[in-house]
Amino acid sequence: MVRLGCIILAVVTGLGACAPRYEMTAPAAFKRFEQRGGYRAITADGVMLKAREVKNYPEGDLPFWTDALQRHLLARGYVQKGKTACFKTQKGVDGCTLVFLLPHGAEDWAFAQTVFVQGNRIVLVESAGLFDCFAKIEADLATALRSFDPGE
- Interface contacts to another protein, rule CB under 8 A: 40, 42, 48, 50, 54-55, 68-69, 72-73, 75-79, 81-83, 101-104, 108-109, 111, 113, 122, 124, 126, 128, 131, 135
Nearer to another protein, 8 or 85 (CB): 85
Beta bridge partners of 88: 94
Residue nearer to another protein on the CB measure, 62 or 135: 135
Quote the distance between the C-alpha of residue 130 and its chain's center: 17
In the complex, the smallest distance separating the C-beta of residue 104 from another protein, rounded to whole angstroms, is 6
- Nearest CA to 128 among 95, 100, 90, 89? 100
Shortest distance, position 103 Cβ to another protein, whole Å = 5
Give me the least distance between CB of 147 and another protein, in Å please.
Answer: 21
Minimum distance between the CB of residue 1 and another protein, rounded to whole angstroms? 35
H or E element in which residue 66 lies: helix 62-76
Strand ranges, E, within 6-143: 31-32, 39-42, 48-55, 79-88, 94-104, 107-118, 121-130
